[in-house]
Amino acid sequence: MLNIGIIGFGRIGRVHAETISRFVQDAKIKAIADPLLKDDDANWARSLGVMETYTDYRKIIEDKTIEALLICSSTDTHSQISLEAIKQKKHVFCEKPIDHDVNKIKLVMEALKGSKVKYQVGFNRRFDHNFKAVEDAMLRGEIGDLNILKITSRDPAPPPISYIKVSGGIFLDMTIHDFDMVRFISKAEAIDVFATGSAMVDSEIGKAGDIDTAAVTITLNNGAIAIIDNCRRASYGYDQRIEAFGSLGQIAIANDTNSTAVISNGRGVIAEKPKHFFLDRYTQAYIDEVKSFIASIVEDTPVLVNVEDGLKPVLIGLAARLSLHEKRIVSITEIEKKYDLNVL
């Protein structure tokens, strides 16, 4: 039985804790740590069978009986905790992104070289049944050579301004999932990026130096074009769609709804709205990604989302941010050279 530690006990930390306690056979949570841990949190953890709760995450790092940990803390702590865990030879599941600073991601990559540590990045959408169906169809050659990949990702409402200010910006917070999906679906790498956008949902987002509505065009090294549109507000719910168009056809996935019921009457044809937000929409994906991480440790197989998969969307995000500010096409090579990554 694998002993797991969870660092960070906010919304996503609780999701993973419940997943492991309810759905994973080969692991158990030994300890949870969060600097803001309250009595209610500790009581909830105990209801899952977790007896050890700390405000200092180093208690988990130093516990030699804990073999793996999930980093669910704030983004600015991810790379540092990763380095400490790797040094102690603990396997790591790290929520995205590893860091907003590429130099810090490089330190994690360097620490993993020659190590037997399993390191998985939490891009959960790779495990979603809809997106996986698109990937499977692509791998079977159902639509031939990819020409155009369209991704729509719109949140039901923007997060608090306090979050916006520390999020790293829309491209490194929200669109980063879509950048990962571009790589996952296309099996290609970005060559250059053009981004445009504005603050149309909330002027306070603009005052905080960010945008809430964006469109990004990416040229891929297989010749295909990826087009992403984002908005922090969709009145009808969480809008998550993909369309892949190729030489032999097209595959498209629609939003998940609570049912497929459609009411047709004199007032019109009415279907259910999409599921409300990511915890509803990606419930099974969160379960499957953690199960995959634990299976990779138990069976000694490669993780399905590795540290390089964690780096590449950040590079695309930085290119998009630069493109937005300078109103020009930005090559990924330009970003790589800035961080001495052209050797990768």
Distance CA 159, CA 182 (A): 24
Q: What is the pLDDT of residue 343?
A: 46
Q: What is the pLDDT of residue 342?
A: 63
Q: What is the pLDDT of residue 275?
A: 78
Separation in Å, CA 102 to CA 84, 317, 342: 18, 11, 13
CA 52 to chain centre: 28
128-277+311-338: CATH class: alpha beta
Q: What is the pLDDT of residue 344?
A: 43
Domain borders along the chain are 2-117, 128-277+311-338
**DSSP three-state, residue 188:** coil
Q: What is the pLDDT of residue 127?
A: 96
**pTM score, whole prediction:** 0.94
Q: What is the pLDDT of residue 278?
A: 73
The Cβ-side half-sphere exposure at 41, using a 13 Å CA radius, reads 22
Q: Which residues in the chain land under pLDDT 70?
A: 279, 342-344
- Peptide bond connecting 97 to the previous residue in cis, omega within 30 degrees of 0: yes
Torsion, Cα 181 182 185 191, to 10 degrees, reads: -150
Alpha helices in the chain (DSSP H): 11-23, 39-47, 58-62, 75-87, 102-112, 129-139, 161-164, 170-173, 175-186, 203-207, 278-281, 283-298, 307-326, 332-338
2-117: CATH class: alpha beta
Q: What is the pLDDT of residue 149?
A: 98
Strand 225-231 relative to strand 239-246: parallel, antiparallel, unpaired?
Answer: unpaired
Q: Examine domains 2-117 and 128-277+311-338 and report if their fold is the same.
A: no
